[in-house]
Amino acid sequence: MKNVKFDFTGKVVVISGGSRGIGFATTKNFLEAGAKVCFLSHYEETGQAALKKLLEINPDYPVMTMHPNLCDYKEVKDMYAAVEEKWGKVDIICNNAGVDSGLFLHKMKKSDWDEVMDTNINSMFTMCKYGVKCIDKKKGGVIINTASIAGVHGSGMGLPYPVSKAGVIALTKSLAAELSGLNIRVNAVAPGVIDTDMVANLNEIGRKAVAGNIPLRRMGKPEEIANAIMFLASDAASYITGQTLGVDGAYLPPRT
């Protein structure tokens, strides 16, 4: 599918969870639109593999990758300092890093809960806290968070995931109010069932069952979420803040 075209020439973008799925599609979109992008990856090897893939598309892309611990204040501050040293500023922050959990409550360990909360919500706090300091308040900036329809509808298992994503929605609304005076817009996207690594293990029967709850009768593509992120980051959304945009094919939660 073709990506929606926007112009982000001269903009500097930082994207967490940028080496795969929605994050990689978003990184690629911003580069195609003229932005300079630093994408973050939990593992150095996956970041380098993604970087190689991008430079094979265009060896002149202004792109870099880093792999800080997103809950470590010093590592996140150092990451932003490296971006500022290279490109002088940050204009757009995309908080996309996320992990899921498929465990039922009675089988869940505290470490399972903590891992999801750290990756999905605590990292956003750190990314926003130190990223805001890099944004030019006169020119303004944008923060886009990746939530989920699970944060709206809940889920029948994997408790920390929907809880964390509901927290992302609340964080988005609250930061939008707090940062409005600094000329920073804050919005979120809430993807539905997207054809990424998280659903890669579903067989054909499972895929059809999932699609049966989606009026559009198919899973979404990472590029479709990336397009929504691009819209919210663009001047076309200049009067939109504090909102969570559902990109879910009108998903209907299963009836119990």
User: What is the side-by-side order of every strand in the sheet holding 63-66?
Assistant: 63-66, 36-40, 12-15, 92-95, 141-146, 184-191, 244-247
* CA distances to 81, 171, 190 from 183, in Å: 21, 17, 23
39 within 8 A of 83, measured Cβ to Cβ: no
HEC string of 26-40 equals HHHHHHHCCCEEEEE
* Interatomic CA distance for residues 11 and 4, integer angstroms: 17
Per the annotation, the verdict on 161 as an active-site residue is: yes
Catalytic residue, from 80, 130, 161, 251: name it: 161
Q: Where are the beta strands (DSSP E) in 42-89?
A: 63-66
For residue 181, the cross-strand partners are none
Exposure b/e, 147-161, CB count within 10 A at least 16 = b: bbbbbbbebeebbbb
- Catalytic residues, by residue number, are 161
